Amino acid sequence: MSRVPIFGLLLVTCSIAFASDPSPLQDFCVADPNSPVFVNGVVCKDAKQVQADDFLFRGLHQMGNTSNDVGSNVTAVTVVELPGLNTLGISMARIDFAPMGINPPHTHPRATEILTVIEGSILVGFVTSNPENRLITKVLEKGDVFVFPQGLIHFQKNIGHGYAIAIAGLSSQNPGVITIANAVFGSNPDITGDILAKAFQVDINVVYQIQSKF
């Protein structure tokens, strides 16, 4: 038997397996936050020590404080808040919006996001990759469900008169967030002004002004 087809099959299998979080190789692998060992994910707690509370998070009925510059607040339930999520490739979040509040343009490097509106009216959108950079946008009402494909820049805005609430599911235990404005204009240390002035085709003082906000 030739080894080449088997190797090819392995490659295909691997590329599928690594498209999101690694597949679990046991029933569960509750995160042990005290382990000094670094792996891709978090080391498992001894299964015999695992308790029901390792699979529980309480508090998503509570509203986040939206008194901030953007008028929104994300309450994340990832492997950090819920250790039982480790290796399972899934997490969730509650997003609260003040009237006119936005969840600013951001991306989750490791997850697709599916979002449903629990209360209010929310304008959502995402932008496709280069070269089209097409904006795909929709107004969502209570009960509507919308999906933001993995890695794409997306945003939400409360366009109703009252508070709005959304619940999101994410296809990673640790989706990650890159808020575009903070990453580009608020990095530590700064990306130098000349680079951003050329990238954004503006005067360097405009760059300094934006950088000063972060």
Ligand X SMILES: *[C@@H]1O[C@H](CO)[C@@H](O)[C@H](O)[C@H]1NC(C)=O
Residue ranges in contact with ligand X by CB under 6 A: 64-65, 67-68, 73
The CB-of-131 to ligand X minimum distance in angstroms stands at 34
- The total of other beta-carbon atoms located within 10 Å of residue 178's CB is 14
Q: 65 or 192: whose CB is closer to ligand X? A: 65
Q: 114 or 177: whose CB is closer to ligand X? A: 177
Radius of gyration of the chain (CA): 20
The tokens of 102 are what? 């936005």
List, edge to edge, every strand of the sheet that includes 113-119.
72-77, 91-97, 164-170, 113-119, 145-148
Query: What is the rounded CA–CA span in Å between residue 54 and residue 142?
Result: 32
Query: What is the rounded CA–CA span in Å between residue 87 and residue 114?
Result: 19
The CB-of-98 to ligand X minimum distance in angstroms stands at 10
**Cα–Cα distance list, 132 to 113, 125, 127, 150, 151 (Å):** 21, 15, 9, 17, 16
Q: 64 or 169: whose CB is closer to ligand X? A: 64
Instruction: Find, among 136, 118, 115, 116, the residue nearest to 127 by Cα.
Output: 136
The CB-of-106 to ligand X minimum distance in angstroms stands at 13
Q: 43 or 167: whose CB is closer to ligand X? A: 167
Q: 24 or 64: whose CB is closer to ligand X? A: 64
Tokens 């209010």 found at = 120
